[in-house]
Every structure is written in structure tokens, then in C-alpha cells.
Structure 1
Amino acid sequence: MITGSQCRAARALVEVSRTLLAKRSKVDELIIEQFERKIEVPGPTAIASIRKTLEELGAVFIPDETRGGIGVRLKFSKSEAKRISRLEGEGGIVANDDVP
């Protein structure tokens, strides 16, 4: 489970708008806004979808068990993400990345 503050911070880190997050997560934009503004907490399915989408975009959620408390960080630094993007754009055979 993530908090509205973590959602807002993760969105800022991965540089995605509420509109795009809503579209990719299939959660209404108003629900995301109310969650981030601590007006209302959406159901567990909506939160899970938001979290999964933000993680796919490169956010890593830090659990409460750590000494520093909850938080969010980027999976890759900007330079690592840029190198990965460049490698992925080089062409070649397109295939599923899952290893059996």
C-alpha cells in the first residue's frame, strides 16, 4: 500500500502527469487527485494499479520498515535511464523480455 504523498512524489520523480498516470493505470484522474491531496483514499485495486504503473515507469517505493521511514526513489539514475533508452531504441528483433 502506498500513500497519496508517495504517489505525488513518485509522479514527480518519473515526470508523468496525473492525466497520463490515469490513462496508463486505468484509474480516474479525479480519484488520483483526491488521493494525492489526502481527500479520499481509493480502494485497494485502484491503489495497486497506480503503484504498478508508477513502478513500471521507474519508481521504487521504500517501505515503512526502513530506518528512514516510507519514501520513493528512482529505480535508475537519469543517465542510466538514458543509456537504457538508447539501447532499447537500437533496433533488432523485438521479443518478450521474460525468461522462461
Structure 2
Amino acid sequence: MINSKSHDTNKITGAQVRAARALIRWSAKDLAKAAGIGVATVSRAEVEDGVPSITNANLKAMQSALEAAGVEFIPENGGGAGVRLKKPE
């Protein structure tokens, strides 16, 4: 059986969450507070390099919080998924 999570290109990965936090210098506690989730949920998400085994709602909450802080998620496009800071508007 193929794990559909490994083929889901619309979701961010644990590695992207780790990298995003590093870019904006947030602790796991900072992200948890901004996303309205528990620190343990952030930690569980970041342990995995692929799509984390957490609820879609929690993953979206983390993504939204990080994007609001200026992070842009780059999808897998042959060169690998990634993150970068958005250009100021």
C-alpha cells in the first residue's frame, strides 16, 4: 500500500516547518502560541522530514502563522521543497 501522505504536494513538511522557524528565529513555543496549538504538536510535526502525522487543521494553523510572520513556502518542483522570506511589499 502506498502512503498517500508522501505524495501530497499541497502540504508543508516537517523539514519546512523547522527551516521556517529558523528563518524568523521563533522557538517551538512561539510557533505554538501563534498557531493556537500545543508545543508538543509542533515538536511532533518537526520530527518528520515529510508531511507530518498531525491533523490537517493543526498543520494549516502552523502554516498560516508562519506565513503571517513573513515566511513563504516553496513547493516541491523538482529542486526540492523549501522556504524563504517574503519580499516586503
TM-score bucket (shorter structure): 0.7 to 0.9
Number of the residue aligned with 2:4: none
The higher radius of gyration belongs to: 1
Q: Say whether residues 1:73 and 2:84 are aligned partners.
A: yes
Number of the residue aligned with 2:23: 13
Q: Determine what percentage of the aligned residue pairs are the same residue.
A: 37
Shift of 1:45: 0.3
Taking the TM superposition and a 5 Å limit, the aligned residue runs for 1:55-70 are 55-64=67-76, 66-70=77-81
Number of the residue aligned with 1:31: 41
State TM-score, norm by structure 1.
0.70
Number of the residue aligned with 1:96: none
1:45 is aligned, of 42, 57, 69, to: 57
User: Deviating runs (4+, > 6 A) in structure 1?
Assistant: none
* Structure 2 residue ranges without an equivalent (≥5): 1-10
Shift of 1:31: 0.9
* Structure 1 residue ranges without an equivalent (≥5): 85-100
Deviations 1:51-82 (A, max 9, x none): 00000001100011x23121111113xxx6xx
Shift of 1:17: 0.9
CA distance in 2 between counterparts of 1:13 and 1:3 reads 15
The aligned length equals 77
